[in-house]
Amino acid sequence: RENSSENILSSANRLLLHEGKLTLAESTRLLDVYLFLFDDFLLITKIKRNKKKYTSSDTGLIPVCPSLTPELQSFIREGGFCTVLDQPIPLDRLILKNVDPI
């Protein structure tokens, strides 16, 4: 029997349109997140910092994808990483609104 559910993260045709840091206001707290906007969904990840300090010889061994922004590359080299915060949001379900900065 064929598996009808395909893995949403494994599309070979997906394009990364934009990525960057954002502060997410979650009820009573602020959360630093890193967004990945693809041509078909938005992925929100939580920024984590590794408690282990790397030496300069260690950081040269960490592979970093060259298509990532220099900011994210250096963050990863310093031992940081991103974990997925919630399910990817399909762009056909996403509603954008302008909000007052206050």
pLDDT of 6: 54
* 8, part of any domain: no
Residue 41 has a CB neighbour count (10 Å cut-off) of: 19
pLDDT of 80: 79
pLDDT of 44: 92
* 35, part of any domain: yes
Average pLDDT of each block of 10 consecutive residues along the chain (102 residues)? 52 83 86 89 86 55 64 77 88 86 72
Q: Domain of residue 84: give its range.
A: 16-51+63-90
Number of domains making up the chain: 1
* 96, part of any domain: no
CB 17 within 8 A of CB 96: no
* 86, part of any domain: yes
* 22, part of any domain: yes
* 77, part of any domain: yes
* 102, part of any domain: no
Largest CA distance in the chain: 54
* 6, part of any domain: no
